Structure 1
Amino acid sequence: MPATPPRAESPAGSPAQGPVTSTPAVPREENWRETIESVVIAFILAFLFRTFEAEAFVIPTGSMAPTLYGQHRDITCDQCGHRFAVGASTPPAFDSELRNGGIDHDRRMHSAVCPNAACQHVNNVLDREIFAGDRILVNKFPYDYQEPARWDVVVFKFPEGAKTNYIKRLVGLPGEEIQIRRGDVWYRPLDSDAPWSIARKPIEKQNEIQILVHDNDLPARKLLDQGWPESWQGQPDTQWQGDAERRSFRIDPTGEGRQQTQWLRYTHRLPQPQDWLTAESGTQLRAPDPQLIRDVYGYNTRITNDQAEASQRRREPISLGFRELAANWVSDLSLSCTLHPEGAQGEVLLEIVEGQRRYRCRFDLANGKGQLEHPSEMAPVPDETDLVLVGAPFESGLTSGRSHSVQFTNFDNRLVVLVDGTVRQSVDLDLTPDAPNPALSPGDLRDTPEDRSPVGIAVKGASLRVEHIKIHRDIYYTEDNSQGRADPLFRLADSPDNSQDEFLMLGDNSPRSNDSRLWRDSHAVPRRLLIGKAFCIYWPHAIPFLNGGRGFPGASYREQGDPKAPKIPRFSFPFYPQFSRMKRIW
C-alpha cells in the first residue's frame, strides 16, 4: 500500500518579524495594539541582548503545546471554570480557518471541549478572539560550547526544506537507537544488544509539561445537581466525609475504623454530550461506566462549523470528530493535593495504579518517615502484608497541625515524592535483570479494571483533611509510522569529529506534530541544522479586560460564507501582559 502523506503543519518557529509565508498587509489603524506590544518588546529585548546572543521567534502552530502555543483561542469553560487553550489552525494547514485575511465558514472553530475530566462541556467559541502564538527567545550559541541535551527544546532548520525553521523537543542523541513504546522514549547504544533504557525527564521539566486530567476544585455543578457522581468518593464502609462546597474531604476514624485502611478513590468518568443535554433538561443522569485515562490534549479539542452542522443534521449532540478522539491509555500519572494531618499518629497512603501494579507512598505520622512500596502482583488480592519495598525509608517532612502540599508521581518508570516543593524521595524502576527496583516491561503491561479508578488516598488510624486534589498525566508520544518505515527503530549517526552527528526531534503535542516520526527522507536532524536552544517565552498574548474579561473589540475578521456570523475581533482593548506565562522554557 502507498504510504500515507504526512499531516499538514506550518513551520513550528518563525522569525519575530513575521512568518516565512507571506500574508496580506493589515491597515495601520488596525495594528495599533501590535505597535504598542512591539515597543514594549523592544525594551525587553534591549536588556536581554546585553547578556545573551539571542534571536526572537513567533510560534505559529501547536505542535509543542502545552509547552508553547501557536495561534489559539484562550477559553474559560462555561461550566467548571477551567481555563485552557485551543489551537486555531492556520495556513498552510489543510483545515486552516484563516484564509486570505478572512475566516473560512466551514473550518471556523465552532466549539471547544473542556479537558477537565469530570466536565467535558462543549463550549461555544464562535466569537472568541484568535491570539497570536508565543513569542520566544532562542539562544543561538549554547551548542558551540556544550553538547545538546536530551529534552532540550531546540530550533533547527527543517531537514526536508532548510528555509523553514522548526521547533521540537530533542529526545534522541548521536550514537543511539530509539524506539517509542507505550508513550515513552527508550534508547540504547547504536547497533548493540544492550538492554533498552527509558529516557527520564528531569523532575522540574516534568512538572512543567505534565497535562491536567482532573481538577477537583473545578466541578461541573450542573451535572452533580442531576445525579452525576463525584469523581472522588470514600469507598463503601469508610468514614470519609466530603464537603461539596469547599471541595475537601475529612476523616476522623473511630472505633474499629482506627485499625482499618480507609480509602478515598478517584474514578475516571467522562460526561458525554448527551449527558449534558440530559442535565440541562432537568432529568436525572444515569450512572456512567468508568473509563481508562487516555491521551486527551485540550489544545486539540476544536470542533469546526462543518462538524457542528453535520451533527445537527443528524440530530446528534455536537461532539468531537474521530480525528480528535484520544486513543491511547496513559498509565503515567501524578497525584497532587494538600494534606492537613491533625495528629502525630497513624499512617497516610497515596496510591497510583499502573496495570498490575499499585504503587504506594506510605507516610508514618508518628516518626515522620516515608516509604515507597507496592503489593506483590502474586497476591490474589492486594493487602497490607505482602508488600514489596521500593527504595529506602526517607524523611517525609509531614508534621501534624499544618497543611502540606504533596505530590506523588509515577512518570517514566520513576517514583517521586515531593512535600512542600522539596523532593523527598526519587526511585528509578529498571528492566535490567539485576535492578534493585524492577519495573514492569512495556510488553507485559496491560490495563486492569483498577486502572479505571487509578488514584487513591487512604488513612490508617490518622485524622486527616485533604483538599486541592489534582491528577495529571505524562506527555504520550505516539508510535506513528504512517510513512511505512521498514525499520521501527530510529538510528542516529555519530562521528568522531561531530560533523555527521544526528538528533531525533519530537513535538510535545504528539498527535498534531510533524516531527521525526513522519519525515519522508530522513528522521534525523543533522548537527549542522541546529539553530539554538529555546530558553524563554518573553511575550505570550496579552490579556483583555473589562466587558466580562473579553475587552472591547477593535476591527474584526471578514467572514467568508456567512455575513451574519458572529464577528471575531482582530484585537481587543484594554489589555495587560500575561505575566504568568512569561517564563523559562523547560
Structure 2
Amino acid sequence: MAPTLQGRHQDVDCPMCGFPYRISASQEIDPSNEQKQADVIGGECLNCRYWACTNRQQGKLLGYPRPFNAGALELDAESKSANGDRIIVSKFAYALREPERWDVFVFRFPGNASRNYIKRLVGLPGETLKLHRGDIFRAGQVAKNETEARGLDYTIVRKPPRKALAMAQLVHDNTYQAEQLTGSGWPYRWDLWPRGTTAAKGDWEPVDNHRRFVIEGKGLSQKTSWLRYQHRVPDFGQWNRIVRASGVKKSDAKRPNLRDMQPVPQLISDAYSYNSGILFQYPPQVQSNRAAMGMYWVGDLMIECRLEVLAAGGSVRLDLVEGGKHFACTINLESGVATLGIDNAFYNSAGEPSKLPEALTSIRGPGIYELRFANFDDQLFLWVNGKPIAFDLPSTYPPLDNTIPVSDEEEGGDLAPVGIGASGASVAVDRLRILRDVYYISVPSDLSFTRSYVRGPLAADHYLGRADVVSAARQVLTEQTNWPKWFSQMHALYFPLDRFGNSDRGQDQFFALGDNSPQSKDSRLWATPHTEYYVERDLLIGKALFIYWPLTHIQWVR
C-alpha cells in the first residue's frame, strides 16, 4: 500500500526540482523464490515529471531511446533499493472493539491463509458497497445479486478529518521549482488570474520565483484579486527538448525550438510516482510504466498554504472547483469567521438551499497561519494551524450533478481547479501544496472491462499498449469538447457483505482496498472460483499501529 505503507522501494531526490519521492522496487524480487531478478534504475518525479536515472552504471548500458530524460546520466539521483516498512500490529485491537471503517488492518489472505495482507478496511458486514467514479457508496442492506444491488439507494461514504488527511495524495508542491523548466519559458503552475494579466496596484505579485505571493490591498478596492493553479505538466518528449536546449546557445541554429511545445492545462489525475519504476533486466532490456501518472480525473482536492497576515482587515478566499462548481471558504481576517459556500450558496441533505455554515477560527489580525481546505467525499473541511474546524452547520452536501469536468474560459473551471483570492487584504502566501483524494478504480476481477471508462480512447473495449495508454490519457485529460461524452457514464462495481448471527459471527464479511488503487491487489480483484472478494472475521489478525523501520519513515499508521 502506498503511500501509507510501502514495500521494497527507492528514495529519490529529483535532480531537477529537488522534490523527494519514492518509487516501488518490489518488482526486483521474484515472488516464487524471493530471489532478485532485476533492478529498478529510475522513475518519474510527481512534482515536475522529470524521469531520473537512479543507477548510472546500468543506465549507460542502454542505447537509445532511453527510458529516462535527457541529461539524467549526468545528474545526481543515485539511489539504492531498501526493504519495505516494518510495522507494529495490535493483535488484541479487534478483541476489544469492532473493526472500524478506514482502519489499516492485517489479515490472512482469503485465497491462501499462510500469507498475510495489509490493506485499508472500507466495507463492513451487513451493507452493500458500490465503487463508482473513484468514490465508495453504501446501502444499508445486503443485495442478493447485482441486479438487486443496482436497484438499491446508496449514500457516499465519507472520511472523518483525520482519515481524509492521512489518505490525501500529493499533486504539486510549489516550494520545489524546477528552475530549468521555468527558465525555458514553461508557465508557472500558480499565477495571477486571468493568465497573462499584468499586476496592478492591489494585485498579487510573485516573489522568489513564484514560490511566494504578496498582495498589498488593504484600504484599496474590495474587488477580489485571484491566484489560480493550472495543472500544466511537461511530458517525456517536452522535457527532453528543454534539457537539450539548455545546453545550446540561443543564437545556435541547432538549438531546439521550444515555442511550439504547447503546455496546455489538463485535469488533475490519479498519479503516483511510486508506480513509475523503470525495471532493468539482463540481457539489457527495460520496462517503463509511463501510465503511472494517471488515467482518471480526480475532482476531490485539497489546498494547503501558509498565510501571513500583514495587516488586519479584508478577507481571503480558498476556492476548489469540481465539475464546474466552486467550493469556497471565505475567512474574515479581522473577526476570524470562516464561511463555506458552493457557488455562493449551500444545500442541506435534502438538496434545499440553506444557511451558509460558519465557524470562528484563530485567524485574527497580523500573524502567520497554516491553512488547509478540502473538498473530499461531498464534504468540506477546514484546518487552521493543524486543527480541524467545527462549523455551526453540517459541512456535508448532497449530490450536485457535477460529475463531468467543465472548462470555463473566464474562471478556468476544472482546468484551473484551485484558487486563492484576497479582497481588501494585505497578506502573503507560500508553501502552496495541492493534494487529492484516493481514486478507487472500478475494475472487476474477471477483467470483463479493464478500465472504468465506458466511452472514449480509454474505454474498456480499446486494447492499448503502454505508449498508447499515455497518449490516450492525455487526450482524456485535455480534450474539453469530448468531456460530456467521455465522462457521462463510468463503470460501477457492487459488493454485498453478509452479517451473521452470534454462532456464525466469524463468517462476517469485510471489504479491503489499498490506497494505491492502480497497483493494489485487493478485494476488487480477488473473486475467483477459489477466492472470495471479502475477508471473513476469522481471518483478521489485527490493526496496524506504528511503522518502526526504516528510521526515515517512523510514524503512526493512520
- TM-score, L = length of structure 1: 0.72
Unmatched 5+ residue regions in structure 2?
56-77, 144-150, 247-255, 347-352, 408-412, 450-491
Are 1:233 and 2:191 counterparts?
Answer: yes
Are 1:470 and 2:428 counterparts?
Answer: no
Listed as ranges, the matches of 1:239-258 within 5 Å are 239-245=203-209, 247-253=211-217, 258=221
Residue number among 411, 416, 441 corresponding to 1:453 in the alignment:
416
Contact 1:109 1:302 in 2 (8 A): yes
Cα deviation for residue 349 of structure 1 reads 0.6
Residue number among 334, 341, 345 corresponding to 1:366 in the alignment:
334
Listed as ranges, the matches of 1:524-563 within 5 Å are 524-540=534-550
- Seq. identity, %: 36
Contact 1:360 1:373 in 2 (8 A): yes
Are 1:395 and 2:360 counterparts?
Answer: yes
Residue number among 279, 287, 306 corresponding to 1:304 in the alignment:
279
Say which is worse superposed, 299-308 or 202-211, in terms of deviation. Answer: 299-308
Distance in 1 of aligned mates of 2:192 and 2:306: 17
Are 1:220 and 2:178 counterparts?
Answer: yes
Listed as ranges, the matches of 1:277-316 within 5 Å are 277-280=240-243, 281-282=245-246, 284=258, 286-305=261-280
1:237-281 CA deviation, whole Å, 9 max, x = no partner? 5521101347210111388x6221111111111111222222222
Distance in 2 of aligned mates of 1:210 and 1:308: 40
Which residue is 1:517 aligned to? Answer: 524
Listed as ranges, the matches of 1:49-68 within 5 Å are 64-68=1-5
Distance in 2 of aligned mates of 1:389 and 1:406: 26
Listed as ranges, the matches of 1:573-584 within 5 Å are 577-578=551-552, 581-584=553-556
Distance in 2 of aligned mates of 1:112 and 1:390: 48
Name the amino acid aligned to 1:265: R
Are 1:338 and 2:306 counterparts?
Answer: yes
Say which is worse superposed, 275-284 or 76-85, in terms of deviation. Answer: 275-284
Contact 2:190 2:210 in 1 (8 A): no
Would the alpha carbon gap of residues 308 and 351 (structure 1) be closer, same or farther in structure 2, given more than 3 Å must change?
farther
Residue number among 79, 86, 91 corresponding to 2:23 in the alignment:
86
SS in 2 for 1:439: coil
SS in 2 for 1:212: strand
Residue number among 440, 445, 448 corresponding to 2:400 in the alignment:
440
Would the alpha carbon gap of residues 390 and 328 (structure 1) be closer, same or farther in structure 2, given more than 3 Å must change?
farther
Distance in 2 of aligned mates of 1:332 and 1:323: 21
Would the alpha carbon gap of residues 307 and 209 (structure 1) be closer, same or farther in structure 2, given more than 3 Å must change?
farther
Listed as ranges, the matches of 1:10-159 within 5 Å are 64-90=1-27, 101-104=35-38, 108-116=39-47, 119-126=48-55, 128-159=79-110
SS in 2 for 1:499: helix
Distance in 1 of aligned mates of 2:303 and 2:355: 18
Which residue is 1:505 aligned to? Answer: 512
1:257-316 CA deviation, whole Å, 9 max, x = no partner? 6221111111111111222222222354544100000000111011223799889xxxxx
Are 1:414 and 2:379 counterparts?
Answer: yes
Name the amino acid aligned to 1:253: G
Runs of 4+ in 1 over 4 A off after TM superposition: 91-94, 99-103, 306-311, 388-391, 426-430, 484-487
Contact 2:334 2:364 in 1 (8 A): no
Contact 2:339 2:356 in 1 (8 A): yes
Residue number among 127, 131, 147 corresponding to 1:176 in the alignment:
127
SS in 1 for 2:41: strand
Are 1:164 and 2:115 counterparts?
Answer: yes
Name the amino acid aligned to 1:439: P
1:313-356 CA deviation, whole Å, 9 max, x = no partner? xxxxxx95465341110011100101112222211111000113
SS in 2 for 1:279: helix
Cα deviation for residue 496 of structure 1 reads 2.0
1:168-211 CA deviation, whole Å, 9 max, x = no partner? 11100000100111111111112477631222222112212211
Distance in 1 of aligned mates of 2:34 and 2:497: 41
Which residue is 1:561 aligned to? Answer: none
Which residue is 1:259 aligned to? Answer: 222
Unmatched 5+ residue regions in structure 1?
1-63, 312-318, 379-387, 431-436, 541-576
Name the amino acid aligned to 1:582: I
Which residue is 2:160 aligned to? Answer: 202
Name the amino acid aligned to 2:554: M
Distance in 2 of aligned mates of 1:70 and 1:215: 24
Listed as ranges, the matches of 1:349-360 within 5 Å are 349-360=317-328
Would the alpha carbon gap of residues 510 and 207 (structure 1) be closer, same or farther in structure 2, given more than 3 Å must change?
same
Would the alpha carbon gap of residues 323 and 266 (structure 1) be closer, same or farther in structure 2, given more than 3 Å must change?
closer
Contact 1:356 1:445 in 2 (8 A): no
Distance in 1 of aligned mates of 2:282 and 2:124: 41
Contact 2:171 2:434 in 1 (8 A): yes
RMSD value, Cα: 2.8
Contact 1:72 1:85 in 2 (8 A): yes
Contact 1:350 1:456 in 2 (8 A): yes
Contact 2:443 2:493 in 1 (8 A): no
Name the amino acid aligned to 1:490: F
Which residue is 2:452 aligned to? Answer: none
Would the alpha carbon gap of residues 428 and 489 (structure 1) be closer, same or farther in structure 2, given more than 3 Å must change?
farther
1:63-85 CA deviation, whole Å, 9 max, x = no partner? x1100010001111111111111
Cα deviation for residue 523 of structure 1 reads 0.8
Cα deviation for residue 110 of structure 1 reads 2.8
Contact 1:173 1:503 in 2 (8 A): yes
Cα deviation for residue 406 of structure 1 reads 0.5
Distance in 2 of aligned mates of 1:180 and 1:341: 42
Which residue is 1:551 aligned to? Answer: none
Cα deviation for residue 488 of structure 1 reads 3.2
Say which is worse superposed, 275-284 or 490-499, in terms of deviation. Answer: 275-284
Which residue is 2:454 aligned to? Answer: none
Contact 1:429 1:439 in 2 (8 A): no
Are 1:328 and 2:296 counterparts?
Answer: yes
Name the amino acid aligned to 2:373: F
Would the alpha carbon gap of residues 246 and 101 (structure 1) be closer, same or farther in structure 2, given more than 3 Å must change?
same
Contact 1:333 1:409 in 2 (8 A): yes
Contact 1:155 1:533 in 2 (8 A): yes
Would the alpha carbon gap of residues 364 and 537 (structure 1) be closer, same or farther in structure 2, given more than 3 Å must change?
same
Distance in 2 of aligned mates of 1:92 and 1:156: 23
